[in-house]
Structure 1
Amino acid sequence: MAVVAEKVPFFSLCVLLDKISSKQGNENKKRLFKDFLDEWRSYHTKLHADDDATNDSFYPALRLLLPQLEREREAYGIKEHTMAKHFIELLGLGKDSQAAQKLINYRNPKNVKGDAGDFASVAYYILKPRCPDKGTMSIAEVNDCLDKIASCNAAKNKDGLKKALMTLIRNQSARELRWLTRMMMKELKIGLSQASILGVFHQDAEDLYNVKMSLEKVCTMLKDPSARLHELEIAVFSPFRPMLGDRASPHKIETTMNNKSFFLETKFDGERMQLHKKGDEYKYFSRGGHDYTSTYGATPFDGNFSPAISNCFKVESCILDGEMIGYNPETKTLGSKGEGFDIKSKDIADYQPMLCVFDILAMNGKVLSNKSLRERKRILDNDVFNPLEGRLVLSEYKEARTKQECIDALNEAIDGREEGIMVKDPDSVYKPNTRKGGWYKIKPEYVGGLMDELDLIVVGGYMGVGRRAGLMSHFLCALAVPPEDPDDKPSVFHSFCRVGSGYSRKELFEFNQKLEPHWQMYKKSKPPAWLHLASGDKQRPDACIHPSKSAILQIKAAEITNSDQFKSGCTLRFPRVEKIRMDKAWHECMSTKEMKDLRQKSDGKLAGQLANADEEGEPSKKRRKIFRKAERPSVLSQFKGIDVSCVTKVSELLSGKELCVINGTTSHSKSDLETKILECGGSIAQNPGSDTYCVIADKVQIKVNNLIRKGSHDIVRSSWLLKCVDQSRLIPWSPSDMVHTSATTKARFSAEYDSFGDSFFNDTSVEELRETFTHVNQVRAISSEEMADVEMTYFPHDSHLGLFRLCRVYMDCNSVVDDPSTSIQCCPLDLSALDLRFHGAKICENLESASHVVVHTKDLSRVKELRNLNKLRRRKFHMVTEHWVKDCIEEEKILNERRYDPPAE
């Protein structure tokens, strides 16, 4: 039996997409799509006039219009760079040809004008002269080829994948391949949202998709646009998009909840998970509908979770909604994502999966989603399962009415290093995939003043697509490696995070304008020496910018997590830009040492303070402003060469000498210094060559760094030139004048000066003596952090002797015991203190600077008092027993302090 998709050319669908993308106004776009849909349905009626039971539907076209929702063939294994290689190979383009380079460097605005960053548009112009004017494939045939590509990718069949791609390229026009490429990248960019497309198809389509999560079922069940789906069926073993929480403020919660009572729950730091049970069959689905049954177990006899809970249930079937969390059975503590484990993996060291259940959607064949949350909670508390510690537990909740109760709950979550709290309307029904159903989430980062804000330097950029095409839309931020000399500015930076939200479109455009003159394309074959990425060039930017030309972003995030994607070994979870700090010097950005200290003090969480009922501290919301394209900025005056016709020579001091000025100081600009050189009979060059006498520079910027790496030129401070002009004589260079010395000059200095820059032959002035003493004072005692770095670098196998090098420990000892061998009274923690000092720790006299507090298991009288003190501190300390010290030494590594948290008496 013929189906519509076999009769409708793919070219017709592409024409529709061209019209929609060029049309202005959402209603006009929707009208175009409705006309196409009506024509499809009319054609369907003609084809199947005598067969009302046909399975033919709009699904083949809808899966192409909403490729991001199509789960069955989501893995093509093809991204822009891979697609470029396939086009080059299948079209027989030379690898070094202009066309091939445009495809590979599609993000480079210098290679591609207008459409930089949009691979599909760049490919269109390359393919247009090489493809037919109109394709011959139907929508059904295109779907078949895409399914083959997905199956070949899954089977790692490269030949089959190339064959399917070749079929598409040979039988389609450049216009069709442009849209096909976007479908494979799952981003059409036509200005028509998922909700709008589903709404035009059927008024119940979006709600049904949120429950069934299947476009095919939506098209099959809602073929008749006039028939309403009055009840959305939540069925066992059929995943649905869960109900979500909207953002809220604890200070406005009474108004938000209409002054009614509400439920308060802890927001756990795990993975949202649905458990579907029917008899002895189980299925597990994530928030996005991914099936993790193979991990947790489909029966009571397989997986790492189902066997443990199979005897807990009182019901035959049910659907539970909850959070899958890591639980350590030995220490009876919960893990967090910041500890670097994935609860969805089959093997997790030290942790086992535990499902914390907070809702029920179905029980014994009856759907419960239309019942109130209060009633669903009652059913869940009494009738569904017997809780099992460490495996299957009920989320604790309490009823409250005031904002103070909400603030207290949030502060308790902050003290417990939890992600936040949930506030729920007891009368709410369960609405899949909505944030407007009466559930609210409150996290520390939603309340201004509670979160630590990090000042990070921008070192790289990623070209945007769609509305952000032609702009750097995301930025790579880095941490500065502290220089050996504290007075020096940092010269090495470690990649740390990628951020792309928090600023308005206008702010993004203005920020791009400021940085535009300084971007350099990042070359994998020759990366900049100052920027260190993770191994394998992970998170490699499209372009890089030297920090001295860049700016600092003030960033707020939920927490710091482990990551191998960045050189720092960690990154931020949910980062967003709070402010662009053009007022702050680039070298004042956060350092790797400061990040290390912050992680140690905060245990990864960035909530540094507690909420206060008197201060709302609401983060400001940025209004969307009208965006108007500005003219491309011209070269600033300070970077232009001077007008030599206006300079009069006054002496022959620098006659015959060529100098190159890279930069100057605030009091003497580059042009001022060049004028003085010309007045003294010298000549100037914008780029140093073999005849250049020296380079003048005060700031070590990217150009200066390049010259330092070459090592062929002497780089001298502008103060030397000014001294020569003031004294009307050419003064020989001294070490204090130099930014960098060539090999010849270095050899001369070693024969004439000592290691502190003091001359062996010349009389020393007061100023030179002060400079020498400055260098002497820079020789200082090595810090604990530096000692730790030395130990790890030169004594990696013996570094356990400095195991506690970065720990500042307070020994809480109020009691004494008699030592029978000496008849001397001593503290029971004295031996632990000796062990700590022997292994590098610093023992503190008070709690002020302590990172750890050790208590003895035989004296827990002050545990409660210490916990209360810790709540008042901005930087929390870890409280552990003496067993933590002993076990760390035995394991030769710092163990998780949570396992040794002492119980209060």
Structure 2
Amino acid sequence: MASKDPAPITVASKVTFAELCGLLEKIQKTQGNDKKKRVLKDFVDKWRDFHTKVHKDDSADTEDSLFPAMRLLLPHLEKERIAYGIKEHTFAKLLIEVLCLGKDSPDANRLLHFKAPKNVKGDVGDFASVAYFVLKPRCPDRGSLSIEEVNNDLDAIAAGNASKAGKDVVRRHLMRLVTSLSAIEQKWLIRMVMKELKMGLSQASVLSVYHPDAEELYNVNNNLEKVCRLLRDPNTRGHEIGISVFSPFTPMLGERASPDKIEALMENKTYFIETKYDGERVLLHKKLDEYKYFSRSGNEYTQTFGSNVFEGTLTPFIANFFKPEVKECILDGEMLGYHAATNTFGTKGEQFDIKSRDVLDRTGYQPCVQVFDILLLNDKVLTNTPLKDRLPLLEDVFTPIDGRIIRSAFKPAHTNQDCADALNEAIDNKEEGIMVKLADSVYKPNTRKGGWFKIKPEYIGGLMDELDLLIVGGYFGVGHRSGLISHFLCAVALSDDEGDGEERKPTVFYSFCKVGSGYSKKQLQDFNTQLAAHWQAYDKKKPPAHLELASGFKEKPDAWLPPDKSCILQIKASEIIESDRFKTGCTLRFPRVELIRDDKPWYQCMTTRELQDLREKSGGKLAGSRFELGESEEPAKKKRRAPPRAVRPTLMNQFQGADVSKVTQVSHALQGREFCIINGPPTCPKQELEKRIVELGGEIVQNPDVTTLCVIADKVNIRVNNLIKKAKYDIVKADWLMRVVEAGCWIKWSPSDMIHITSATQQEFDKGFDEYGDSYTVETSEDQLHTVFDNMSNIPVISHDEIAELEEEYFPDDSPFGLFRTCRVYMDSNICVGDPNSAIPNCTLDLLKQELSFFGAKISPTLDADVSHVLVHSGDRSRVETMKALRRKQHRKFHIVTEDWVRVKSSIRDLHPQTLPAVVSPGRKQQAKLAWSKIYCSPFVNQI
């Protein structure tokens, strides 16, 4: 047997990990960025000299480079090992096991509670430093592993973490690292695994030491290994770095700006204004019939959106709309969530992930790419072409289709006022902001200094609503914030629904957000000194009675404050978004501290009712006013006087009761019934619903009492939750009231109409409905049937294979009810019959899909390797040749058939012997069985 070729010798296999850690120690202790870079340069030069000696004549051909060391110097850039799945607690438990430490020993406590100041030596909150002091007396002075061996172990840990059965692999390789390295080496290893090195050199500085063009090349392709390999020779200067199809890179970015500075920033030149959508940045690469999608950070999402016309949530719907002459292209844009029913785009505040394959089924949002730039067209790279010349080219690339792929609308502008008007229009439309781009700008990957500017309301002082929140908890910082409470858990006071006109001090607070920016280190130190005497360690077994956290303690603080010893922070943010991490059910997006409200007592913080009012005011957006030129300067951060206690905040107009004095009653459908409307759907808000109730003879109140029939709500908010806790009122969905208004008559409630049911109403429901909400007496509609089925989701479902086994047992001669049980069918129904530019779906195949499913077939959403049949429409065989080409490449061949094959198979069900009447003679049954077998065993009639 021939022996395997020996593994190639690399520099990393000859250089010890201890030498790399010695370099990191020296860099960390050296003062000054330039001196640190000189220390690193000496190491890089020695590596290159050693590389020449190791590889000699084959130096130019080898793949070996500084990459094995560079991936450890810049661990956060290594995309090949996305996650190790190891946190500080895992490392702590492993070290306790390897070192045979008692569970209650001082050193074990130091490792497990490394953030507690009284338990640790070194930097508070830095697990690596704490571990070093524990390991130092127990480890050898120098480890025995090379850089290559450490990398191999880390790769194995990452691979084991990604597999279901990799727990033992992870533990084995971690054990090898822990037992083979010195204490100082393990300190740096921990930081590499945590991807936070803390050596005092930035990414840009490290790359610039290696090669002057290294950072630029990395910005283009996001591939650290490729950077190290191509720039191995320091004398080889990078030529014009091109952008190529299917190679990810970091896109061009926008710099913050204000409308009153635009003319100066643009040097009085023409610029373009575009709407800034709240989506996910995406780079769409196309080469012939293949597509790839990359995020801003270089992550690939092709598997979700689709690599070809047969698969994915987007590609099948846009591929036919690219112009035939476009062979290759790279488009820059934003991936948005489009809701076809409402013709609207979603926002990140709604917390749906457009990169999820089932996002449409779960949320109703489908992916839609909004294209605003083109970087490559066929064989020409366009990055050095001015923007004003690139944008017209988009018209020659694809035909827009609503809800799938659209072009960004841009308009030329010249003055500050043009920019201010566009920003105000965005505020009025509840949009995120605007983008402003110099018409002559060229495309520069991964830079904010190229003539693009983003303008949002939160960037401009005075335009955003600000929130006064109480500090209730804190988190210890790391790095330069070690030893300080660097992040604060803020809360709102629970509203007192029973309050009379007199101000009461709140006793319960709901966690709302975590904030850790907006102040300098000096301000943070002063603030910590001010509160130092009042912090208390948080014990989840004995939590403070005044503080309510989300279920599961998802944001459990390290320490907490008594309310009367705390103070209020004035917080600024972009919007209020849904979140299950906090008790309020929502939190702030991009929060930052604006001011410490020393002028305001702790009990005058924001309440849950005020939060809900603010949240509903404009869909969570916190832009409170319009922009006027000359008023964009940040307001002076001076103390504001608290409002007099006699002044009570009033409810905003849109949440007050409707003026029904001029409403004319047109019906008695709701006569004698009283309702309380909390909120309504976007199409019919609260005040509109109240007018509809009065028109039908009903009465409305703003607060429910014993005479109120029910509470109406479209969505559950804090007020609805409070009413649910009281359990005094039936809470009915606004959809039920909409149906009553449409019908003009009373409609009885059903369980599916209810948000909350009182015990009395539940007893009535028990008389007329089963446990799944199905009525005993009323005919069921299609929508009600769907609701009943949803309620039956916990009932075990018989699998496809179990059904097949039953058919085999009871219908051994082929079941007439499982004609297609063994078939996995892909429906070629994403095309359009007739005119290829038409948007009408192939409804005929959609109907056949139901028939195939009824008779046992599995319908595959993609043309994968398990598909047995591809069903095309006989009137459009335009993609048959493409599918045949794909079939030739597959190991398992699939059949391409038309709809006639389904109809023939279905029509012979009546010939099955088991479906014949009992009076038919045995001879006739035998003839039928032969006919059945002949037809059934010829399954590829009408095959293409």
Global fold match (TM > 0.5)? yes
User: Cα offset for 1:339?
Assistant: 2.0
Shift of 1:121: 0.2
Q: Tell me which residue corresponds to 2:627.
A: 611
Once the two structures are superposed, residues 39-83 of structure 1 have per-residue CA deviations (whole angstroms, 9 ceiling, x without a partner) of 000000111112131111000000000001001112100111222
Q: Which residue of 1 aligns with 2:336?
A: 325
Distance in 2 between the 1:34 and 1:114 partners?
Answer: 29
Contact map agreement 1:809 1:853 (CA 8 A) in 2 = no
Match of 1:342, as an amino acid?
A: D
- Cα distance, 1:448 vs structure 2: 0.9
Secondary structure of the residue aligned to 1:561 is strand
1:255 aligns with 264
Cα distance in 2 for residues equivalent to 1:103 and 1:336: 42
Q: Equivalents in 2 of 1:48, 1:836: separation in Å?
A: 94
CA distance in structure 1 between the partners assigned to 2:257 and 2:739 by the alignment:
43
State the Cα deviation string for residues 323-348 of structure 1 (Å, max 9, x = none): 11111112211111222322121222
Rounded to whole Å, the distance in 2 between the matches of 1:131 and 1:43 is 30
Alignment deviations for residues 361-400 of structure 1 (CA, whole Å, 9 cap, x no partner): 11113211111111110111x2110000111000111001
2:37 to 11, 19, 30: 30
Give the AA of the match of 1:63.
Answer: R
Residue aligning to 2:345: 334
Deviations 1:809-838 (A, max 9, x none): 547999x9xxxxxxxxx477x889x69984
1:52-131 to structure 2, matched below 5 A, reads 52=59, 53-131=61-139
How big is each residue's C-alpha offset from its partner over 1:276-301, in whole Å with a ceiling of 9 and x where there is no partner? 11122111111121211121111111
Q: Which residue of 2 aligns with 1:199?
A: 208
- Give the 3-state SS of the residue equivalent to 2:56 in structure 1: coil
Distance 1:287 1:812, change over 3 A: farther
| TM-score, length-scaled by structure 1 | 0.71
- Corresponding letter in the other structure for 1:312: F
- 1:367 aligned to 381, 392, 409, which one? 381
- Residue 365 of structure 2: which of 351, 359, 362 is its match? 351
Which secondary structure state, in structure 1, belongs to the residue aligned with residue 117 of structure 2? coil
1:422 pairs, out of 428, 435, 438, with 435
Q: Are positions 1:175 and 2:184 aligned together? A: yes
Kindly provide the CA deviation profile for residues 645-703 of structure 1, in whole angstroms up to 9, marking residues without a partner as x.
xxxxxxxxxxxxxxxxxxxxxxxxxxxxxxxxxxxxxxxxxxxxxxxxxxxxxxxxxxx
Structure 2 unaligned regions, length at least 5:
1-7, 639-648, 693-733, 742-748, 756-944
User: Are the aligned partners of 1:328 and 1:334 in contact in 2 as well (CA < 8 Å)?
Assistant: yes
**Of 183, 199, 205, which residue of structure 2 is paired with 1:190?**
199
Instruction: Tell me: CA distance 1:379–1:91, structure 2 relative to 1, closer, same or farther (3 Å).
Output: same
Give how far 1:541 is off.
1.4
SS in 1 for 2:471: strand
Equivalent in the alignment of 2:561: 545
The one-letter code of the counterpart of 1:343 is I
Contact 1:34 1:200 survives alignment (8 Å): yes
Matched, 1:886 2:894: no
Deviation of the 1:162 alpha carbon: 0.8
C-alpha spacing 1:198/1:884, structure 2 compared with 1 (3 Å): farther
Instruction: Note if contact 2:122-2:129 (Cα within 8 Å) is conserved in structure 1.
Output: no
Letter paired with 2:559: A
Change in 2 beyond 3 A, CA 1:98/1:40: same
> Which residue matches 1:793?
none
Deviations 1:530-576, CA, capped at 9 Å, x for gaps: 21111221121111112221111111001010011111111111111
Question: Mapping of 1:488-887 within 5 angstroms?
Answer: 488-618=504-634, 808=656, 810=658, 826=664, 838-841=674-677, 852=687, 886=738
Matched, 1:230 2:252: no
Contact 2:122 2:130 in 1 (8 A): no
Question: Cα–Cα, structure 1 residues 831 and 192, in superposed 2: closer, same or farther, change >3 Å?
Answer: farther
Residue deviations 1:466-503 (CA, integer Å, cap 9, x gap): 11111111111111112455643112111111111110
Corresponding position of 1:471? 484
**What is the CA RMSD across the aligned residues, in angstroms?**
2.8
1:454 aligns with 2:467: yes
2:398 to 343, 362, 385: 385
1:199-246 Cα offsets, whole Å, 9 max, x none, are 010111111111110100100111111211121121111111111110
Distance (whole Å) between structure 2 residues aligned to residue 361 and residue 373 of structure 1: 10
Contact 1:813/1:827, CA 8 A, preserved across alignment = no
Alpha-carbon distance change, 405 to 13 in structure 1, aligned in 2, over 3 angstroms: same
Change (3 A) 1:163 1:449: same
1:326–1:336 Cα contact (<8 Å) kept? yes
Q: Is the Cα–Cα contact under 8 Å of residues 299 and 307 in structure 1 kept in the other structure?
A: yes
2:161 to 127, 140, 153: 153
- Which structure 1 residue ranges, 5 or more long, are not aligned? 623-782, 786-805, 817-825, 845-849, 858-881, 895-905
Partner of 2:228: 219
Cα 1:784–1:541 change in 2 (3 A) is same
How many residues get paired? 673
Cα deviation digits, residues 869-902 of structure 1 (max 9, x gap): xxxxxxxxxxxxx9996169998489xxxxxxxx
**In the alignment, is the contact (CA less than 8 A) between 1:267 and 1:420 conserved in 2?**
yes
Letter in 1 for 2:17: F
8 Å Cα contact 1:538-1:565 kept in structure 2: yes
1:50 corresponds in structure 2 to 57
Paired residue type of 2:386: S
TM-score, normalised to structure 2, is 0.68
Counterpart among 400, 404, 424 of residue 413 in structure 2: 400
Q: Does the aligned pair in 1 maintain the 2:128–2:187 contact within 8 Å?
A: yes
Equivalent-residue separation in structure 2 for 1:884 and 1:410 (angstroms): 39
Paired with 1:35 and 1:221, the residues of 2 have a C-alpha distance of 20
2:677 counterpart letter in structure 1:
A
Quickly say closer, same or farther: Cα 1:567–1:207, change in 2 above 3 A. same
Aligned partners of 1:808 and 1:841 also within 8 Å: no
Are the aligned partners of 2:679 and 2:686 in contact in 1 as well (CA < 8 Å)? no
Distance 2:688 2:415 in 1: 35
User: How far apart, CA to CA, are the structure 2 residues paired with 1:784 and 1:612?
Assistant: 27
CA 427–179 in structure 1, closer or farther in 2 if over 3 Å, else same: same
